[in-house]
Chains A and B, each alone.
Chain A
Amino acid sequence: MFRRKHHRYLTLQDYVYVPPNERRAIEQAVAAAVHPVEPPPAFVAQLEQDLLEEATRMVEKRNRAPQRVLWILGIMTGGLLPLIGGLLVWVFTNREGRHPPARAVASSA
């Protein structure tokens, strides 16, 4: 039968108990020591202006993206149309070439 292997764990560090009063004293001292600091107002204003400019640029760029797609599509379509036209002309010319012209048929008759 299977016998469960007895696992042994290695204790890396013993649990250290911190009494509540000591915990509170440390927490109060740390909380009082690390009060917030004010950033320089000039820096805050300058960064805000720079970020707003960047955000506006990004929005404009994003709005221009569909227009760019339309441009590319237009150029591609514009480039394809003459090719298709040329192909059609070639097909029709060849088809006419296979049959003798109507005037030649009438004169032979």
Chain B
Amino acid sequence: MSYEEEQELVARAKTDPEAFGELYRRYVKKIYNYHYRHTSSVSDAEDLTSQTFYRALRSLSSYRPTGAPFQAWLFRIAHNLVVNWYRDRKNERLVPLEIGLWAQIAPQVGNPESHLSTAELHKSLVRVIDALPEDRKTLIILKFVEHMSNAEIAAVMGRTEGAIKALYHRTLVSLRATFQQGARAEDV
């Protein structure tokens, strides 16, 4: 669907519930995924997904096209809810990085002759991504799950494109540092 067609659908959704239903069907999986990747909980992801769409429905009359796709606006709502979710749980949620785990993962990345199964490796990587700060995790999800451009991610996170590039670089550096840390732990 082109940008113009989508904007037409959004304009119709302001007065036509069926058009809103179409937008919902188009984005519900993406929004659920985004929340699930952040919360790692089905019930929290469901709750945040519901809140996102109810907010979108109530605010749709004030939506103005800005040149960015509609999903950037929708993800912005989802992002604000996720930020609140983290704020509410900042004392509860502390996932420690497992150095032993990284000692297993680090040599396997990019190595086809890995003794760890792919499923195990992915599971472990997800746990490590879970331990990243909220903004870095958001960036990883939007880039690798939603395949958004830096400009779209910037619109969602309310930052400049340059800031997103810098954040991405820092995220890669920190991931690499964790890999190296893991590799050193294995040597010892």
Contact = CB atoms under 8 A, between A and B. Distances in A.
Nearest to B123: A33
Contacts of A34: 37, 125-126, 129, 140-141, 144-145
A25 interface: yes
Interface string B95-126: 00000000000000110000000100111011
B21 A39 contact: no
B172 A44 contact: no
B73 interface: no
B28 to A, nearest CB: 6
Interface residues of B, number: 42
Contacts of A16: 173
Contact of B140 (A23, A30, A40): A30
B125 A30 contact: yes
Contacts of A25: 109-110
A59 B123 CA distance: 45
Interface of A: 16, 18, 22-40, 43-44, 47-48, 50-52, 54-56, 58-59, 62
Closest CB pairs A-B (n = 10):
A25-B110, A55-B17, A33-B125, A39-B32, A33-B122, A29-B109, A16-B173, A31-B144, A56-B17, A55-B20
